[in-house]
Structure 1
């Protein structure tokens, strides 16, 4: 049986290849991909802007995905066949100090991640270690489940932020991460949940997702120093610094956006005088994945509401060009093999 895949040979060059269906090795499963999301980091891979230490060309991208177990390798429970599933992207070693402390996203055994250094889900099939699977309900919407990877990142941010019921919360950025953060935070009982984004349409979408109000960055200057917790999701050049200005003295700031060189730094004077607690998030640990999958199963988050475009593999070039294009009407873009 044949299987197709998008291969990015080098920055700016991709092709759709037909190959034999991959065979799962010992401890692995073969997954038939149902849907795969395209995110900003996939666009970075395509454009050649991702740090060289975190990509290996040629590569089959695709780290946000869902699917069904189609075959199992040696030593894997055959009861997994036919199960709907997602899987962690980091191929953590499981034995280093960070892994043993449950920080699998910070594994020191060497960086390896589905869709960046290992074949990803912009394909009909992919193989992954069975130990990384997070099984879904039999009636799970696989189209929506493709967004559980960014939802896991948001779950990691919520864990890091330690939200207490009734606190004032701000989310900076209303892209996929920001809107998922609004959904998950709204389920945690905040007293106020404000979204900061320059795009009015995105602000309106955030209110539909559970935000109590939406402000432009200019309007947000009037509420500086007001929030117990600020979750930054935009990764824009100024949003790390501006997020810290939104937090109250003694407040907490969690940075989830992936920043690039040249971003504005956090003012150390403000940091020390305000006694802020600043955390960053890199991907998601196994525990955060568990949180996201449970929230999805309970209906606390609705990833499907964020999907605006769907394309077959043959139209990958058109699909990836939409991501990061600046059109506020473009939400999550999916490939559907």
Structure 2
């Protein structure tokens, strides 16, 4: 039986490299492609798995808690087999590793979740198009961004992209909030100011005149921070909860939602291939975004170090990517 390498979580916060069964063209169904990994990136939704959490998705699919290659879904790869006519063998593509196990030599993904990219971008830079596509899709769903005061709770990699995308969408002002000192990095990514505070303290100090009309909750993995977003918003404001929840149920202050005439939104990225194309155009229009956003790159066999940094970032840590040696 042919094998390939993969990184596998054997216990919380510990990767080991393993040899595992190698997929081939016969394993594909219509609409799928087989990719050889060239680069990947660490997403905030990967970190609960790294830390040992049994996620909601894993609870729904017992027996596949930590397969080889998990957790990673932000991927750049070379197509080596295809059952999607839009992708040919040899194509270099970016997007979603649909099975969430892309931290491996080969991975199977849906062709509809992949797109080509500018070949002038290195794979470890091009992989940022996937999170950028997610953020652009979210901003498109929020009404009335142009001319609005906006706040982004959380200045991790996704929050930083929201700074930039909201500014580009015409927000009158953007303030970031983070318990890390992200003032320098947040400003470089488009924020007018970044409050170096926990959201509970920030909202407690917020004056009525400074209340944002648009609030993005980009922290995730917390129940309380969604309530802080509702408390912060101006009357008639819009709140977008971004990211994958760790818990199926979040308590919502319905009295506050009702009396302030707020709109609460969320959702996954749809039309992924379309959004990847939009992300490519956006990045072409803002080429400086690449170097500002991708701050650390590790070889794929250093995934352990990359994930450890992602769980305990420094003030200057934004996106962490992984590359396969040529």
Q: TM-score range by the shorter chain?
A: 0.7 to 0.9
Unpaired runs of 5+ residues, structure 1, are 90-112
Instruction: State yes or no: 1:241 paired with 2:238.
Output: no
Q: Which residue of 1 aligns with 2:42?
A: 38
Residue 191 of structure 1 is matched in structure 2 by 172
> Mapping of 1:163-202 within 5 angstroms?
163-200=144-181, 202=182
Q: Does 1:64 align with 2:74?
A: yes
Distance 1:193 1:325 in 2: 25
For 1:47 and 1:175, the matched residues in 2 are separated by: 17
Q: 2:257 aligns with which of 256, 263, 271?
A: 271
Query: How many residues are treated as equivalent by the alignment?
Result: 307
- Trace 1:109-258 onto structure 2 (pairs within 5 A): 113-115=98-100, 120-200=101-181, 202-217=182-197, 218-220=201-203, 221-224=205-208, 226-235=211-220, 236-258=222-244
Paired position in structure 1 for 2:52: 48
CA distance in 1, matches of 2:4, 2:103: 11
Q: d(CA) in 2 for partners of 1:291 and 1:82?
A: 23
Question: Taking structure 1 as reference, are residues 127 and 263 closer, same or farther at Cα in structure 2, changes over 3 Å only?
Answer: closer
* Cα 1:284/1:144, change in 2 over 3 Å: farther
Unaligned runs of 5+ in 2: none
Shift, 1:183, TM fit: 1.4
C-alpha RMSD of matched pairs (Å): 2.9
When residues 21 and 301 of structure 1 are mapped into structure 2, their CA distance, relative to the original with a 3 A threshold, is farther
- Partners of 2:99 and 2:108 within 8 A in 1: no
Map 1:82-121 → 2, pairs under 5 A: 82-89=90-97, 113-115=98-100, 120-121=101-102
Partner of 1:323, secondary structure, is helix
Contact 1:8-1:57 within 8 A present in 2 as well: no
Using a 3 Å threshold, how does the CA distance of structure 1 residues 249 and 144 change in structure 2: closer, same or farther? same
Q: 8 Å contact 2:77–2:93 — kept in the other structure?
A: yes
The separation in 2 between residues aligned to 1:210 and 1:57, in whole angstroms, is 38
Q: 1:289 to 1:162 in 2, by over 3 A?
A: farther
Instruction: Give the 3-state SS of the residue equivalent to 1:248 in structure 2.
Output: coil
Q: Secondary structure at 1:186's aligned position in 2?
A: helix
Distance 1:57 1:259 in 2: 17
Question: Hey, what does 1:94 align to over in structure 2?
Answer: none
Give the conservation status (yes or no) of the 8 Å contact 2:212–2:232.
yes
Structure 1, 177-186 or 146-155: larger mean CA deviation: 146-155
In the alignment, what sits opposite 1:8? 9
Instruction: Confirm or deny: 8 A CA contact 2:295 2:320 kept in the other structure.
Output: yes
How high is the TM-score relative to the length of structure 2? 0.81
| Alpha-carbon contact 2:38-2:78 (below 8 Å) kept | yes
Task: Tell me if the contact between 2:14 and 2:304 (Cα under 8 Å) persists in the aligned partners.
Answer: no
Residue 10 of structure 1: how far off its partner (Å): 5.7
Q: Partners in 1 of 2:314 and 2:34 — Cα distance? A: 36
SS in 1 for 2:230: helix
Q: CA deviation at 1:178?
A: 0.2
Deviation string for 1:223-273 (max 9, x for gaps)? 456222111101234221111122111111101144445998432221111
In structure 2, relative to structure 1, the CA distance for the partners of 1:26 and 1:238 (3 Å cut) is: closer
Q: Which residue of 2 aligns with 1:280?
A: 266
Deviation, 1:335, is 1.9
Question: Shift of residue 15 of structure 1?
Answer: 2.6
Is 1:292 aligned to residue 303 of structure 2? no
